[in-house]
């Protein structure tokens, strides 16, 4: 985590006495941070290598900011936006990985904080009646004596019941997260969070891309711009090249910078997850070497340290093992950042349901709808009539406004937890089925950054999750993404001249399921002991009887319950790291 900041705020005016001890600048220097701006009752501190853009007399921007055409913004922000309009000005004319901090122009202790839509800089906060802090790293607030870590057990239950849904509630009591694209207003007596950016805006009729050609051009332009701009502020890059379509597109966009890029492919100790043949096609096209990172069974552990900034359980056993190996690769190549194609499936609308054809029927009528049903049948290798039945069923299905729950292995008390709000929920009542599904998938992508920490001193870049790319792809109707029976067809056509044919036309995709099943089988006694003696059981969150029954049985084909058990271990490991047994 390269960009670190903390905002300290006193809700009292300067004349009022603050009963809490002041945080002096000497204490901040021990954390490697210095004061970058002070106005009235607000002080902003940041690490020396954190980019800062000043908003004269009004605040600053922490992180990387780019113009719409990809030029980095440094020094001072050239804006004439009036007070209260800065957020819209940034969202409409700039993009990046940043936190915008707008301070009050008068003598009242008020400020606004906005996190960019990609969530590139972490942001958590805590306030009471006297004041509080906003920071990228909760460990800084803990070391300064501003926060004492306490587990929010209801939040843990919520995290398990509504899996992979990120909300503004962390797993630590009285600590909240400002979600990507959201704005936090801090007043004298209260705080208020609202969405400053919403994906629903870009699937409205007025925002739609009208033709496939227009969609192809806009997607290529946005992806090329985002990769180029983010790479332009880095020195030495490791690209995590899986050999799939998404990372290969990022590789193609990085190709002109290959002297600063190391292309690395991860090979897992299982014959079904060796993708190096595809990665080699891409590096051969770019005329560069491919570096192999091997993952062995022993690299996956169930007891591992979590990052100091972690506020939710998000790093699984496999992610931790992979992260350590990527760190070793970064040290070997003296890399300053990682690039990944993660999120491409969602952004490029890789839907596995009949929703795209349903959207075509509702949006464009019978002719376009029938063509989309044909594409759907080709994509899923089924008859036209079956694809048609699934499309009609999708059209007639009652819409669920909430997030799907996972009730497996949870106790009755955990199952009683209510769904916490998310700024993108509920979906608008008139939204098309496919648009709804792709935006729900996009909500799940908000976990990627925390599940791939990749060290304290390096950047982790996800260019396909950047604001320009996400907006361009959201504008494309879902049925355009399955043209000619190909998933992610717009992305394929956008980069058809830069990708090897075998990658461009590839339909298969490998997974780590076999590997993780083998890890579970080998580690079952250890897993059983971890959960049997753990906090989840002692707090009455898991149904231990159901877990015992599962442990006694063997793995059954197509039953993915072992992945749920591994997720329980991830949560238990996080808890043990916060509250050692």
User: pLDDT at position 82, please?
Assistant: 64
Q: Specify whether 30 is located in the same domain as 88.
A: yes
User: pLDDT at position 80, please?
Assistant: 67
Cα–Cα separations (whole angstroms), residue 118 to 88, 136, 228, 477: 16, 15, 16, 21
Question: Does residue 138 have a cis bond before it (omega within 30 degrees)?
Answer: no
Q: Specify whether 464 is located in the same domain as 341.
A: yes
From the list 267, 156, 146, 250, the residue with the least C-alpha distance to 510 is: 267
User: pLDDT at position 447, please?
Assistant: 83
Q: How many residues does the chain have?
A: 581
- Contacts of residue 467, defined as CB under 8 A and 6 or more positions apart, other chains included, come to 91, 95, 96, 116, 117, 118, 197
Q: Specify whether 487 is located in the same domain as 524.
A: no
User: What is the torsion angle, in degrees rounded to the nearest 10, for the CA atoms of residue 211, residue 215, residue 221 and residue 224?
Assistant: -150
Cα–Cα separations (whole angstroms), residue 92 to 25, 95, 197, 476, 581: 36, 8, 10, 19, 49
Sign of the alpha-carbon torsion through 497, 501, 506, 512: negative
Q: How far from chain centre, in Å, is Cα 367? A: 37
Are residues 4 and 63 in contact, defined by beta-carbon separation less than 8 angstroms? no
- Contacts of residue 111, defined as CB under 8 A and 6 or more positions apart, other chains included, come to 7, 9, 42, 59, 101, 102, 103, 104, 186
Running along the chain, 581 residues long, what does each successive block of 10 average in pLDDT?
Answer: 85 51 78 86 90 89 96 87 80 96 71 94 90 94 93 97 93 97 87 95 94 97 97 93 95 83 86 80 94 85 91 92 89 92 95 96 95 97 96 86 88 94 90 95 87 82 97 98 97 97 86 85 94 96 96 87 95 90 51
From the list 476, 510, 463, 209, the residue with the least C-alpha distance to 348 is: 476
Q: Specify whether 66 is located in the same domain as 105.
A: yes
> Among 167, 196, 225, which residue terminates a domain?
196
The rounded distance, in Å, linking the Cα atoms of 82 and 91 is 14
Q: What is the CATH number of the domain that holds 135?
A: 3.60.20.10
CA 355-356-361 angle, to 5 degrees, is 95
- Report residue 477: phi and psi, to 5°: -55, 145
Are residues 200 and 117 in contact, defined by beta-carbon separation less than 8 angstroms? no
Are residues 357 and 372 in contact, defined by beta-carbon separation less than 8 angstroms? yes
Q: Specify whether 60 is located in the same domain as 160.
A: yes
Does some domain include residue 382? no
Q: How far from chain centre, in Å, is Cα 208? A: 24
Does some domain include residue 372? no
Does some domain include residue 231? yes
Q: How many CB atoms lie within 10 A of CB 299?
A: 17
Report the number of distinct structural domains present in the chain: 3
User: pLDDT at position 580, please?
Assistant: 62
The rounded distance, in Å, linking the Cα atoms of 124 and 136 is 6
What is the DSSP code (8-state) at residue 331? H
Does some domain include residue 35? yes
Q: Specify whether 229 is located in the same domain as 338.
A: yes
Q: Specify whether 72 is located in the same domain as 23.
A: yes
Are residues 312 and 159 in contact, defined by beta-carbon separation less than 8 angstroms? yes
Does some domain include residue 45? yes
> Among 147, 163, 196, which residue terminates a domain?
196
- Contacts of residue 221, defined as CB under 8 A and 6 or more positions apart, other chains included, come to 472
Does some domain include residue 155? yes
- Taking only Cα atoms into account, the Rg of the chain, rounded to an integer number of angstroms, comes to 24
Domain encompassing residue 232: 202-347+452-504
Global pTM reads 0.94
Q: What is the CATH number of the domain that holds 478?
A: 3.40.50.620
Q: Specify whether 53 is located in the same domain as 168.
A: yes
Q: Specify whether 190 is located in the same domain as 208.
A: no
Helices of type H across 287-316:
none
Does some domain include residue 390? no
Does some domain include residue 352? no
Q: Specify whether 37 is located in the same domain as 164.
A: yes
Helix (H, G, I), strand (E, B) or coil at 357: helix
> Among 196, 231, 262, which residue terminates a domain?
196
Cα–Cα separations (whole angstroms), residue 93 to 55, 61, 96, 173, 347: 15, 14, 11, 37, 21
CA 219-225-231 angle, to 5 degrees, is 135
Q: Specify whether 182 is located in the same domain as 312.
A: no
User: pLDDT at position 272, please?
Assistant: 56
- Contacts of residue 129, defined as CB under 8 A and 6 or more positions apart, other chains included, come to 11
User: pLDDT at position 107, please?
Assistant: 54
Are residues 482 and 376 in contact, defined by beta-carbon separation less than 8 angstroms? yes
The rounded distance, in Å, linking the Cα atoms of 41 and 213 is 53
Q: Specify whether 241 is located in the same domain as 116.
A: no
The DSSP element (H or E) to which 267 belongs, if any, is strand 261-268
């Amino acid at each position: 985590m390269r960009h670190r900041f903390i905002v300290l705020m006193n809700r009292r005016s300067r004349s009022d006495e603050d009963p809490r001890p002041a945080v002096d600048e000497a204490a901040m220097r021990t954390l490697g941070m210095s004061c970058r701006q002070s106005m009235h009752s607000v002080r902003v501190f940041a690490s020396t290598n954190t980019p800062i853009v000043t908003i004269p007399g009004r605040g600053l921007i922490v992180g990387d900011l780019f113009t719409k055409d990809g030029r980095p913004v440094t020094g001072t922000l050239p804006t004439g936006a009036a007070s209260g309009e800065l957020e819209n000005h940034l969202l409409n004319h700039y993009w990046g990985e940043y936190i915008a901090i707008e301070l009050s122009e008068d003598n009242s202790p008020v400020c606004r904080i906005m996190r960019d839509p990609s969530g590139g800089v972490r942001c958590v906060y805590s306030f009471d009646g006297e004041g509080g802090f906003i920071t990228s790293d909760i460990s800084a607030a803990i070391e300064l004596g501003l926060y004492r870590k306490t587990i929010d057990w209801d939040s843990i239950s919520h995290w398990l019941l509504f899996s992979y849904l990120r909300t503004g509630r962390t797993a630590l009591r009285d600590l909240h997260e400002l979600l990507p694209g959201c704005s936090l207003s801090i007043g004298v007596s209260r705080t208020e969070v609202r969405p400053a950016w919403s994906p629903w805006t870009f699937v409205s009729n007025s925002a739609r891309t009208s033709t496939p050609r227009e969609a192809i051009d806009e997607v290529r332009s946005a992806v090329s711009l985002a990769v180029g701009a983010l790479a332009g502020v880095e020195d030495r890059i490791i690209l995590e090249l899986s050999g799939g379509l998404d990372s290969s597109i990022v590789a193609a966009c990085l190709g002109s910078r290959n002297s600063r890029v190391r292309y690395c492919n991860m090979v897992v100790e299982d014959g079904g997850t060796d993708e190096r043949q595809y990665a080699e096609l891409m590096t051969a096209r770019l005329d560069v070497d491919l570096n192999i990172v091997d993952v062995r069974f022993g690299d996956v552990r169930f007891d591992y340290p979590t990052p100091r900034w972690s506020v939710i359980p998000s790093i699984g056993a496999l992610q931790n093992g992979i992260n350590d190996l990527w760190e070793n690769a970064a040290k070997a190549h003296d890399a300053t950042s990682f690039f990944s194609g993660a999120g491409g499936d969602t952004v490029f609308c890789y839907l596995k349901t009949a929703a795209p054809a349903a959207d075509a029927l509702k949006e464009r009528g019978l002719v376009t709808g029938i063509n989309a049903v044909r594409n759907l049948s080709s994509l899923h290798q089924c008859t036209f009539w079956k694809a048609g039945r699934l499309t009609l069923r999708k059209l007639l299905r009652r819409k669920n406004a909430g997030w799907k729950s996972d009730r497996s292995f949870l106790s009755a008390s955990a199952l009683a937890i209510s769904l916490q709000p998310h700024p993108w929920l509920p979906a608008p009542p008139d939204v098309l089925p496919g648009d709804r599904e792709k935006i729900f998938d996009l909500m799940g992508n908000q976990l990627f950054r925390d599940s791939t920490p990749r060290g304290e001193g390096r950047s982790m870049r996800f260019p396909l999750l950047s604001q320009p790319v996400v907006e361009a792809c959201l504008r494309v109707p879902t049925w355009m993404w399955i043209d000619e029976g190909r998933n992610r067809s717009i992305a394929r056509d956008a980069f058809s001249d830069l990708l090897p044919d075998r990658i461009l036309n590839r339909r298969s995709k490998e997974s780590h399921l076999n590997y993780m099943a083998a890890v579970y089988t080998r580690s079952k006694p250890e897993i059983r002991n971890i959960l049997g003696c753990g906090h989840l059981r002692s707090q009455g969150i898991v149904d231990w009887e159901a877990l015992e029954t599962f442990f006694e049985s063997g793995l059954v084909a197509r039953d993915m319950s072992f992945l749920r058990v591994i997720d329980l271990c991830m949560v238990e490991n996080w808890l043990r790291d916060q509250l050692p047994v």
